[in-house]
Amino acid sequence: MTTIKTVAIIGAGQMGAGIAQTVATGGYDVKLYDAAGDRVPQAMGAIAASLSRQIARGLTTQADADAALARIAAVGSLADAAEADLVIEAAVEDETVKKSILADLVPLLGADTLLASNTSSISITRLASATDRPERFIGLHFMKPAPVMKLVEIVRGIATSAETYEAAVAFAESLGKTTTNSEDFPAFIVNRILVPMINEAIYTLYEGVGNVASIDKALKLGANHPMGPLELADFMGLDVVLAIMNVLYDGLADSKYRPCPLLVKYVEAGWLGRKSGRGFYDYSGETPAPTR
């Protein structure tokens, strides 16, 4: 198996930036690429800010933070990113987009390069089939925020080899993460359970059972959840929640996975949560304010 020393991250959004920080902190050289060129400098700024917060909390030292930042290189082309031992695709949760990236990436890869997707719901088997190396393709689902959350969900496609799985587990554990193995079913384990709960909370709001504040308070205090489901939806991104619900609804053909119409309406309005400044909460003031 390939010895992993250099890792490329394709996609410099919130997840891509978080994964890049996590991998660099773990001692690996990182190449960070995004088709939207302005996104990589923004990601580098976000990583620096995140490391500064960790220093302030005593979770890392200035020297270690500086070393991690120095290990991350912004690259301007997919060809540069492809020169890595492991490439992790971390683009938007859209199968068409992911397959398009993989189609452009595969001809540029070395014969021994491992490929992974950070997809949170899409079939690893289908994504792998769009490549020339399904046996060397695997799902590495980091939780958000990747530098903080301890779990990496590892998902094997039907053709993923045992050697690739073992390499993926060893890599994730070298980052200080705990792994769990999921079979390749829609949304895997975490989001198969979590996102329908969020969708049900949105139905509860839609039907007038409670308002945003009461629903989140009920789950935080009544079920001991660290975040309320609507607060969590805003943190994840309502477009991501909707995409996962659509994968579940289409993949399992069960009406219990039908996305709530209110969720659809918010996404259509561009109210995507924290990243857009408005979702179930309005983030324009000092304190998030419920929008319903």
* 153 classed as catalytic: yes
CA-to-CA distance for 107 and 113, rounded, in angstroms?
11
| CA–CA distance, 177 with 109 (Å, rounded to integer) | 27
Of 93, 141, 199, 231, which is the active-site residue? 141
**Is 284 tagged catalytic?**
no
Active site residue 191: yes
Other Cβ atoms less than 10 A from the Cβ of 124: the count is: 27
Over 235-247, what HEC string results?
A: HHCHHHHHHHHHH
Determine whether 276 is an active site residue: no
Give Cα 205 to chain centroid, integer Å.
26
Catalytic residue (one of 50, 117, 191, 199): 191
Set 153, 182, 199, 231: catalytic member = 153
Peptide bond into 229 cis (omega under 30): no
Which candidate in 120, 121, 123, 199 is catalytic? 120
Catalytic residues: 120, 141, 153, 191
